Amino acid sequence: RGDFDIIGGSSPITHAEVIKVALDLVRRFYNSKAIVIRLNHSKLAEAVCSWAGVPQERRQNVAEFLSSTLVQYCPNKADRKSQWSLIRGQLLQDLRLSEEVVEKLHKADQRFCGSADLVLARLRGTLFYDKSACKALDDLSTFLKCLRVWSVEEHIAIDVLMPPSDYYYTDLFFQIYSKEGSPASSSHEKLLAVGGRYDMLMENAWDNTHKTKPPGAVGVSIALEKFLPNNPSSDVGLPRIENSISVLVCSKGGGGLLNERMELVAELWEANIKAQFVPQEDPSLQEQYEYASDHDIKCLVFITEAGLSQTDLVKVRHLDARKEKDVEKEEIVKFLSEAISLQFKNPTIWS
């Protein structure tokens, strides 16, 4: 198993980053058109159970039952729809749910499980009275916007009946699958990765003598055995970034310029340049400098609203060298690649 985690940061933004990391690996071994990302939120699942009328004391049993019988199939597919004729009797008899509750769970599967954008709109119209559910929907909406900035084109579905893969996942959680078989036939889904936010686990492990609250955390666990070839010693061709110099993409004004920071970071990643950004919508200059200090980052790239709209320039600043230079945005990858190769020590790069 391979794990990737981010400690701290804003939840939807860090969720998007861990999924991007997982997808960067998945796409090297699987066709992106066959990849499915399934999402849910703990507060959303609770709200749907309340809407359906599932008694509190039976929700865990219902979730486990649906997970083993229904949720293993992709939403809105024929093999999932066919399960209802088989499980209806068990929900009524074994789990002692009323006809009305079972019918509402069936309706939830039909209306609230499927294409993310469509399901979000339906859920907002149904759960408008539930403040906790509305906050969860806002988180999901921000999360989807972040994925679009990073050009995640895979099919993204919301599945309100999908329980978390582990008890400690709270708030937003996800599973990544690869569809196998032809679309016309009954296709099987291979589970490749699971993840989500696990603040509760951090709180349980936190030393209570600390005056501060534990930071939030989000992570993904990847089933590496489903990626590696039969010969573990063979070269899978994954690139390595040998240079240890990292870049922090910062914003100054403009409401945080989150999309622009994310786009520039992705461009640097694509060029195998180690790059980070403060995972908040509108971090202050002080927060960004503190982040650089905490992570021992000396090279900062500043973007401003005026710089992008009027001059198309970004400012590169090196804290140790005490040098800075305005660089055309389309030349930033070339400039940083050359500067990093020279360890930022050649004075000519700043002229």
> Are 176 and 152 contacting, i.e. CB atoms less than 8 angstroms apart?
no
Q: What is the C-alpha separation between 213 and 278, in angstroms, rounded? A: 19
Distances (CA, A) of 111 to 84, 123, 172, 185, 288: 14, 9, 20, 23, 42
Beta bridge partners of 73: none
Per the listing, tokens 């119209």 go with 125
Which strand (E) or helix (H) includes residue 188? strand 188-197
Structure tokens at 144: 């989807």
CA 174-71-151 angle, 5° bins: 35
Annotated binding site: 5, 168-169
In terms of Cα–Cα distance, which of 219, 113, 195 is closest to 156? 113
Structure tokens at 100: 């009305």
Structure tokens at 173: 């959680």
Annotated binding site for L-histidine: 5, 168-169
> Are 186 and 74 contacting, i.e. CB atoms less than 8 angstroms apart?
no
Locate all alpha helices (DSSP H) within 84-172, ordered by sequence: 84-93, 99-111, 116-126, 131-149
